[in-house]
């Protein structure tokens, strides 16, 4: 086994390994859809973000148009502030509403944007005013039971 | 009564011996890491070791990866079928491999194949007085013999784990799409939607690097400390496999808890 | 030409002064004094477990004496830190019992090893030196063989070539004659003497072999019970009447070193005689 042969084989080995990593990242993972395209930031405030996480997708019409950048808490309004980055190519009207939705029944949560009809678009740094918080299952059940109970009481 | 006291004393002595051993092992590990940093200046030795450790492990890693992928495809399908979620086969196979099976099984195979050969080689060098001869020639055997092997294993391990996962995904694809008939588009698209590059693939890679450190260190340490007799070397190779495997599985639990808990 | 050892310390390249050493509480060496004059070949002999190899280990700094000093070129080897010890070891060549060749290198690379590790010599110079050393031991033609392809005697000669690669002033031999055929025995013995004289070095042989070592040694030291039992030229030892020396040199079964390992009386083990 000459030096050159060993070097060649080791080089091939390392190449194969890196190719495997690349394959995993691109074909298996979501790196390809990871647009490194520039984006602009908008914020939104929610009463309850539920299980929303940083880097959760921001979708409109079911298509991923951005990512959640950061989640914070505003101690003055006691609301959650979510900062999201939206792809530069997509502009939304100023009266777009943001809701926290769940993919599937028990899946991960994401932000859904429904565009309004405002002729002006959101500028970088703007705040989405119309928001709908996440559906918290316990509250829903509580409402349901309360509703049933009051129904029963009024009978 | 004295028997009880003796037993307690024995237990105490055993605990002390264990601590001493751990301390010695920790110091050895640190020394090996420091010396390995300097060994980067002798790439020839490291390249030779990557060849012995990595290239020679390829066949078992690739074949095992393929078969694990096959099995995941089959088992995954039968399980998902009862939930009506056959379309999620791609995501199941990919996540299982990338997060867990790739790094862990590749590490276990690595410990069995490369780990034992490293231990045996070092043990035999010790019993043949080669390490001693090197010391008497004023060459530090840790730097000349152990460090290149350590680096070679650390470089080879993540690459092998990645290849295992990649081949496994391909195996799952072959079984799922071509054998069973799951829709190819659903297979890949759900997989791509469900597997995150940084938290899944990235963490899996981090795991395999940690496992590489563990397997390399255990193999070299056990070989270096082996008794220089044939039985000593044989016992050492067994110890390497057992200790590496347990350490890898234990580390896997810790890392998984750290990385994948939300 | 064998010479009587000189008591003048300045010509001693190596001195062992009142050394005490043991692996557990039991001392293997207890008050050992030895002196090695430059240019001499010394044979260190003794029964199994008498501590001969331990003396080599003390000289090489592999172990430290619990009491006493081991002075090599005036420096106490036992007191050196790791880096200084490595510097000192470059001036020693050691031949291990079965050669201890590096199994992952071929013959040439084995002999070249010390040159590559400790010098910056260009490749051509290394090649010349290696082939010269191999030629000195008669194995220049074997330069490209692998270590698995050489016989035991050849392996030992290659290891010898490796030990002299840097022309060290002190050469240590651990049982160089063990397990060799008569031709190899004679060859190695002659090589040890000739190389010692040619290099102007000092050699210390640890060995059992009376015949071969007496042919080439200037000084013979006999270790027994942790001390030097006898020391002198081969002729002086052959003429000695000390029972320890006589038993060792003549290979007698009975003498100061008993044949029987300590055991209860014969009668009690074989049940001869009335039981109580």
ipTM associated with this complex = 0.81
Q: Which residues of B fall within a CB distance of 8 Å from C90?
A: 137-138
Q: Which residues of chain C make contact with B125, given a CB cutoff of 8 A?
A: 102-103
* Residue B85: band (very low, low, confident or very high) from pLDDT cuts 50, 70, 90: confident
% residues pLDDT > 70 (chain A): 88
Residue with tokens 């020839």: B44
Residue count of chain B, please give it: 262
pLDDT band at A36 (very low <50, low <70, confident <90, very high): low
Neighbours of C57 (CB within 10 A): 18
Q: Are C45 and C26 in contact (CB under 8 A)?
A: no
- Between A6 and A55, the more confident residue is A6
d(CA C62, CA B226): 18
Compute the average pLDDT of residues B85-100: 89
Name the H helices within B88-146. 89-95, 102-110, 116-127, 130-136, 141
Whether the predicted pLDDT of B103 surpasses 90: yes
Residues of C in contact with B49 (CB under 8 A): none
β-sheet bridge partners, residue A82:
A44, A71
| Cβ pairs bridging A and B (under 8 Å) | 82
Structure tokens at A3: 């030096």
DSSP labels for C234-254? Answer: HHHHHT---HHHHHHHHT-SS
What are the structure tokens assigned to A131, written together? 């928001």
And the tokens for B3?
Answer: 């028997």
Q: What is the pLDDT of residue A134?
A: 82
Residue C113 tokens read as: 């090893």
Q: Report how far residue C119's alpha carbon sits from residue C126's, in angstroms, rounded to the nearest whole number.
A: 9
d(Cα C275, Cα C128) in Å, to the nearest integer? 78
Taking the CA atoms of residue A57, residue A58, residue A61 and residue A62 in that order, the dihedral angle to the nearest 10 degrees is 10
Residue A151 has pLDDT above 80, yes or no: no
| CB–CB contact B136 C60 (8 Å) | yes
Cβ atoms within 10 Å, residue C11? 14
Mean pLDDT of the region A95-103: 87
Q: Count the Cβ atoms, other than its own, within 10 Å of residue B3.
A: 7
What's the pLDDT score for residue A29?
64
User: Is 50 exceeded by the pLDDT of residue A91?
Assistant: yes
Place of tokens 């004496």: C65
pLDDT of residue C4: 45
Min distance B161 CA to chain A CA atoms (Å): 8
Q: Which residue of A has its CA nearest to B189?
A: A28
| Cα(C128)–Cα(C136) distance, integer angstroms | 12
Report the distance separating Cα C63 and Cα C49, nearest Å.
Answer: 16
User: Which class for C178: exposed (0-12), middle (13-18), buried (19 or more C-beta within 10 A)?
Assistant: middle
CA nearest C250: which of C237, C260, C262, C259?
Answer: C237
pLDDT tens per residue across span B210-234: 999 999 999 999 999 999 888 999 9
For C9-22, write each residue's pLDDT tens digit. 567 888 888 888 88
- Which residue ranges of chain C lie beneath pLDDT 50? 1-6, 276
Residue C261 DSSP symbol: P
Q: Give the separation between CA A138 and CA B13, rounded to whole angstroms.
A: 56
Q: Are B237 and B120 in contact (CB under 8 A)?
A: yes
Question: What letter would DSSP give residue C4?
Answer: P
Segment A106-110 long-range contacts (CB within 8 Å, at least 24 positions apart): A108/A51, A108/A53, A108/A56, A109/A49, A109/A50, A109/A51, A109/A52, A109/A53, A109/A56, A109/A134, A110/A52, A110/A56, A110/A57, A110/A58, A110/A59
Asked whether the predicted pLDDT for residue B75 surpasses 80, the reply is yes
Residue with tokens 């060290």: C168
For the stretch A107-117, pLDDT in tens is 678 889 998 88
Nearest CA in chain B to C57: B136
Is C103 touching B (CB cutoff 8 A)?
A: yes
Give residues with Cβ within 8 angstroms of B105, minimum separation 6: B64, B65, B68, B164
Please list, in sequence order, all residues whose beta carbon lies within 8 angstroms of the beta carbon of residue A17, skipping any fewer than 6 positions away.
Answer: B54, B158, B159, B160, B162, B163
**CB contact, 8 Å: B229 with chain A?**
no
Burial category of B220 from C-beta neighbours within 10 Å (exposed 0-12, middle 13-18, buried 19 and up): buried
Taking every pair of Cα atoms in chain A, the longest distance, rounded to a whole number of angstroms, is: 94
Q: Is residue C168 less than 8 Å (CB to CB) from chain B? A: no
- If residue B27 lies in a helix (H) or strand (E), which one and from where to where? helix B2-39
The DSSP symbol for A103 reads: S
């Amino acid at each position: 086994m000459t030096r050159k042969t060993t070097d060649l084989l080791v080089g091939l080995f390392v190449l194969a390994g890196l190719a495997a990593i690349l394959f995993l990242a691109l074909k298996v993972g979501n790196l390809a859809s990871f647009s490194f395209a520039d984006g602009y930031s908008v914020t939104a405030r929610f009463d309850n973000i539920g299980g929303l996480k940083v880097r959760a997708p921001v979708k409109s019409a079911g298509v991923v148009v951005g990512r959640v950048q950061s989640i914070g808490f505003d101690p003055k309004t006691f609301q959650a502030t979510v900062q999201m980055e939206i792809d530069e190519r997509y502009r939304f009207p100023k009266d777009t509403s943001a809701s926290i939705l769940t993919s599937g029944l028990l899946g991960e949560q994401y932000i859904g944007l429904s565009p309004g009809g405002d002729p002006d678009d959101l500028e970088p740094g703007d705040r989405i005013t119309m928001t709908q918080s996440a559906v918290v299952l316990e509250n829903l059940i509580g409402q349901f039971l309360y509703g049933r109970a009051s129904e029963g009481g009024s009978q | 009564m004295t028997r009880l006291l003796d037993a307690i004393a024995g237990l105490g002595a055993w605990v002390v011996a264990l601590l001493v051993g751990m301390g010695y092992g920790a110091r050895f590990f640190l020394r090996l890491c420091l010396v390995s940093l300097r060994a980067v200046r002798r790439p020839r030795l490291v390249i030779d070791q990557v060849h012995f450790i990595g290239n020679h492990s390829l066949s078992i890693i690739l074949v095992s990866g393929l078969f694990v992928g096959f099995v995941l495809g089959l088992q995954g399908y039968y399980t998902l079928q009862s939930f009506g979620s056959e379309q999620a086969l791609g995501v199941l196979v990919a996540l299982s491999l990338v997060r867990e099976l790739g790094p862990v099984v590749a590490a276990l195979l690595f410990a069995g194949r490369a780990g034992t050969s490293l231990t045996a080689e070092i043990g035999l060098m010790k019993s043949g007085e080669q390490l001693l001869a090197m010391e008497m020639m004023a060459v530090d055997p840790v730097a000349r013999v152990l460090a290149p092997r350590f680096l070679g294993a650390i470089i080879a391990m993540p690459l092998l784990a990645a290849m295992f996962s990649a081949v496994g995904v391909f195996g799952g694809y072959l079984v799922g799409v071509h054998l069973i008939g799951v829709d190819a588009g659903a297979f890949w698209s759900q997989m791509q939607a469900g597997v995150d590059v940084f938290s899944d693939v990235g963490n899996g890679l981090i795991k395999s690097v940690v496992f590489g450190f563990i397997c390399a260190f255990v193999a070299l340490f056990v070989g270096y400390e082996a008794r220089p007799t044939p039985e000593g070397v044989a016992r050492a190779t067994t110890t390497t496999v057992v200790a590496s495997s347990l350490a890898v599985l234990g580390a896997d639990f810790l890392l998984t808890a750290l990385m994948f808990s939300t | 030409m064998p010479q009587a050892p000189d008591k003048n310390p300045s010509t001693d390249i190596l001195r062992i002064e009142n050394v005490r050493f043991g692996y557990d509480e039991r001392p293997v060496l207890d008050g050992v004094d030895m002196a090695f004059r430059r240019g001499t070949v010394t044979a260190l002999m003794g029964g199994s477990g008498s501590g001969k190899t331990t003396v080599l280990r003390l000289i090489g700094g592999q172990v430290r004496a619990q009491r006493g000093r081991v002075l090599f070129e005036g420096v106490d080897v036992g007191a050196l830190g790791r880096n200084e010890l490595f510097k000192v070891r470059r001036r020693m060549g050691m031949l291990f019992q079965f050669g201890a060749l590096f199994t992952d290198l071929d013959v040439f690379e084995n002999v070249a090893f010390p040159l590559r590790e400790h010098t910056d010599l260009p490749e051509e110079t290394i090649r010349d030196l290696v082939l010269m050393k191999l030629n000195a031991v008669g194995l220049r033609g074997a330069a490209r063989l692998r270590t698995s392809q050489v016989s035991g005697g050849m392996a030992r000669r290659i290891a010898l070539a490796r030990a002299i690669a840097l022309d060290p002033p002190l050469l240590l031999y651990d049982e160089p004659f063990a397990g060799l055929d008569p031709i190899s025995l004679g060859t190695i013995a002659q090589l040890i003497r000739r190389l010692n004289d040619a290099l102007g070095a000092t050699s210390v042989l640890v060995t059992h072999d009376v015949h071969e070592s007496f042919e080439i040694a200037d000084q013979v030291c006999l270790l027994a019970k942790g001390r030097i039992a006898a020391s002198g030229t081969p002729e002086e030892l052959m003429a000695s009447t000390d029972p320890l020396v006589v038993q060792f040199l003549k290979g007698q079964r009975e003498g100061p070193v008993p044949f029987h390992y300590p055991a209860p009386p014969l009668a009690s083990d074989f049940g001869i005689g009335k039981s109580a």
